[in-house]
């Protein structure tokens, strides 16, 4: 029997600290030069290059937003977050036994390096020195509406250049144990669930989580965890100047021959205008603009685990968007079934909860 979303609330542990924001995502890459060619077309800028590391940044004051470390296999390593006080690092160190260590990444400062339940690295930083923001090529476009026409005797013709990325905004993780992973991020980073999506039995299976900044607004989501068939990186998302920058970014990435994934459209949960791309290693990255922000007072909302909630308008959701069922992942699923980390009823529930076509005109594709 179907239970209403919210009938089983997402349990929230007492937070150890409350991080202020996301800082960076980290990847291993076999070919840093090839990675950089994509990232430059994506609109990031080189912050620093070392023998075995490539640091890329947006135009905003963060020293870097993305680091690629040379490694044999392309894979997601983890993410970094900023804490407002050194006492936060001390609290994490006390609770986890992890050391407070100096960081030799651009921006310096100190960090505590943790591991989430899936084994991904989570750094919490303090004393990270901001960088000088890069000059913007233009200001956000001024929009004429039926009621106000602030743009007079002026055209709307932004130049065709890579999207002006301002900052990293969020990342998404797939987790075999949704409850454990979501709980871990809430406890260690103090995240607040903004929107939670539930399976047909009412159990929470996806959480859009934001930073708890008190009265100061935070992005609708900074970390997203959803329950799936693997422990894997989903995508990371980068805020660009405005809506036209999402469109112009797409033109430049198309011209570069890179692999488009999905967009342009507007999300429902978070409201961003989005466009998704894949880097040369198949790593998904999103451009976004005009996302929602909430302060800590906004209560958690519950919804069905419905792929139709992924977008409000825009290009149809590609049939292969989301977790990939290739031979490797099928072998992984079989292994987790055997080890009891995944059950057949849960697999059936996942399938049943996403069985409605996300739009009526996509029903044929499902058949
Ligand atoms: Fe996203």
Model's pTM, two decimal places? 0.95
CA of 199 to the centre of ligand 1 (A): 20
Q: How do residues 154-163 score in pLDDT, each as one tens digit?
A: 999 988 999 9
Name, in order, each residue with C-beta under 8 angstroms of 55's C-beta and a sequence gap of 6 or more: 46, 47, 48, 49, 63, 64, 66, 67, 105, 106
**SS3 of residue 95 by DSSP:** helix
pLDDT at 364: 66
CA of 338 to the centre of ligand 1 (A): 32
CA of 245 to the centre of ligand 1 (A): 16
As given in the structure block, the two tokens for residue 207 are 């959480």
CA of 337 to the centre of ligand 1 (A): 29
pLDDT at 3: 95
**SS3 of residue 224 by DSSP:** strand
CA of 110 to the centre of ligand 1 (A): 28
Measured distance CA(257)–CA(214) in Å, rounded:
43
pLDDT at 325: 65
pLDDT at 365: 65
Q: How do residues 163-182 score in pLDDT, each as one tens digit?
A: 999 999 999 999 999 999 99
Residue 191 C-alpha from the chain's centroid: 14
Element (H, E) at 265: strand 259-266
Q: List, as one string, the DSSP characters of 161-200.
A: -S--EEEEEEEEEEESSHHHHHHHHHHHH--EEEEEEE-T
| pLDDT beneath 50: ranges in the chain | none
pLDDT at 335: 82
Query: Could you give the dihedral angle defined by the CA atoms of residues 255, 261, 263 and 267, in that order, rounded to the nearest 10 degrees?
Result: -150
Measured distance CA(149)–CA(142) in Å, rounded:
9
Q: How far is CA 223 from CA 31, 119, 172, 174, 239, in A?
A: 27, 16, 6, 11, 14
CA of 171 to the centre of ligand 1 (A): 7
CA of 234 to the centre of ligand 1 (A): 9
CA of 238 to the centre of ligand 1 (A): 9
């Amino acid at each position: 029997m179907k239970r209403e979303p919210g009938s089983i609330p997402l349990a929230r542990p007492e937070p150890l600290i409350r991080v202020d924001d996301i800082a960076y995502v980290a990847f291993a890459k076999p070919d840093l030069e090839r990675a950089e060619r994509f990232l430059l077309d994506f609109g990031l800028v080189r912050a620093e290059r070392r023998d075995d590391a490539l640091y890329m940044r947006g135009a905003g004051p963060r020293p870097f937003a993305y680091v690629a470390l040379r490694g044999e296999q392309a894979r997601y390593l983890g993410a970094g977050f900023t804490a407002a006080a050194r006492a936060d690092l001390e609290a994490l160190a006390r609770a986890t036994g992890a050391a407070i260590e100096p960081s030799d990444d651009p921006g310096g400062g100190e960090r505590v390096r943790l591991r989430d339940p899936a084994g991904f690295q989570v750094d919490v930083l303090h004393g990270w020195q901001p960088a000088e923001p890069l000059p913007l090529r233009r200001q956000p476009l001024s929009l004429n509406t039926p009621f106000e026409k602030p743009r007079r005797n002026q055209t709307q013709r932004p130049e065709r250049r890579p999207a002006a990325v301002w900052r990293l905004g969020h990342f998404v993780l797939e987790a075999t144990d949704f409850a454990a992973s979501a709980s871990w991020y809430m406890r260690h980073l103090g995240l607040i669930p903004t929107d939670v999506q539930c399976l047909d039995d009412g159990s929470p299976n996806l959480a859009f989580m934001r930073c708890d900044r008190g009265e100061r607004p935070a992005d609708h989501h900074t970390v997203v965890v959803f329950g799936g068939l693997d422990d894997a990186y989903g995508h990371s998302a980068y805020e660009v100047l405005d809506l036209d920058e999402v469109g112009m970014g797409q033109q430049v990435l198309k011209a570069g021959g890179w692999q488009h994934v999905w967009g342009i459209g507007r999300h429902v949960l978070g409201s961003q205008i989005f466009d998704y791309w894949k880097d040369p290693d198949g790593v998904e990255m999103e451009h976004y603009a005009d996302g929602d922000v909430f302060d800590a007072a906004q209560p958690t909302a519950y919804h069905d685990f419905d792929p139709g909630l992924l977008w409000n308008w825009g290009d149809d959701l590609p049939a292969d968007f989301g977790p990939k069922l290739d031979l490797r992942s099928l072998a992984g699923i079989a292994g987790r079934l055997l080890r009891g980390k995944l059950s057949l009823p849960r697999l059936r529930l996942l399938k049943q909860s996403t069985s409605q076509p996300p739009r009526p005109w996509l029903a044929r594709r499902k058949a």
